[in-house]
Structure 1
Amino acid sequence: MDYLVVFFCFAITLHNIEEAIWLSKWSQYSSKFQKPVTSSEFHIAIIVITILAHLSALSYLYIPESNITKWIFIGFLGSMIFNAIFPHLTATVLMKKYAPGLLTGLLLNIPINSLVIYQMFVENLILWKELLIATLVVGIILLALIPLLFKVGGKVYPFSYVD
């Protein structure tokens, strides 16, 4: 199971790198999916989210008996699966323009996170109810955190640039 948790860290990091490289430029196109964001705003947000994801995985690895570490970790797993579909796949289809993060979301996040979740079910470590509630709670927290992190990014790096 430990190696699967490491794969989660690998997948989310590559996904967030893909977004960090291309999302700020993509966000400049008129869209109901994303308000325009500068690179500096987005980079701060993506760094913090990546750190939180890694902390959730490491906490679960080192304290697997703790329900809170398990729930936060499975919440991240579920949220990143959901994130690959909404907004990445949905935005790509509706806008007819590639949404950064789609490729790594579909090829890494969905299969790896699904495998981790499957293995947790096989080992009787989680219940469906836990997965659904944790995904909902962590997803809502992440969605609420992102605009705040954009603001912090705009203040920490007041210069704005779009690559």
Structure 2
Amino acid sequence: MESLVILFLFAITLHNLEEALWLPAWSNYASKFHKPVGKGEFHFAVMFITSLAYLSTFFYLFFPNSIMAKYILIGFLGSMIINAIFPHLLATIILKRYSPGLLTGILLNIPINSLILYQFFQSNELTFRELFLSILIVGGVLLSLIPVLFKIGTSVTKQFY
């Protein structure tokens, strides 16, 4: 399980790198759904979220018996699967323009995270109720953090961008 969990870090890092490189410019095309996001604010937010993924993974690896560590990791895994579909796949279909993050979301996040979740189910360490609640809570926290991180990122990075 440990090596699979490390693959999650590989997948989320590449996914967030793809977003960091191309999403700020792409967001100008998606302005009918949300306001465009600047490089500085987005880079700050994506680095923060990626750091949270690393922290949750290391917390799980160092404290494998911690129920909280397991549920946070599971919530992250599920949230990233959903993220590949909503908004990336949905935005690509609606806007008829590739949404940065779709490729890594579909080719990395969905299969790797699904495999890890499958292993949790196979070892009887996870129920669908626990999965649903973990995704709901972790996904909700991550979604609520994004506007706050954009705001902080705007002020923190204005001298660099």
Q: TM-score range by the shorter chain?
A: over 0.9
Counterpart of 1:45 in structure 2 is: 45
Q: Counterpart of 2:9?
A: 9
**Aligned counterparts, 1:1-163, within 5 A:** 1-159=1-159
Q: Distance in 2 between matches of 1:125 and 1:157?
A: 41
Per-residue CA distance 1:53-102 (angstroms, 9 max, x = gap):
01111111111111111110000000000000000000000100000000
Q: CA deviation at 1:33?
A: 3.7
Structure 2 stretches lacking a partner, 5+ long:
none
Higher deviation after alignment, 61-70 or 94-103:
61-70
Distance 1:159 1:28, change over 3 A: farther
Residue segments in structure 1 that go unaligned for 5+ positions in a row = none
- Say if 1:30 and 1:55 are closer, same or farther in 2 by CA, change over 3 A: closer
User: What is the CA distance between 1:30 and its match in structure 2?
Assistant: 4.2
Distance, in Å, in 2 between the alignment partners of 1:82 and 1:90 is 11
Aligned residues between the structures: 161
Normalising by structure 1, report the TM-score: 0.95
RMSD: 1.2
CA distance in 1, matches of 2:32, 2:134: 27
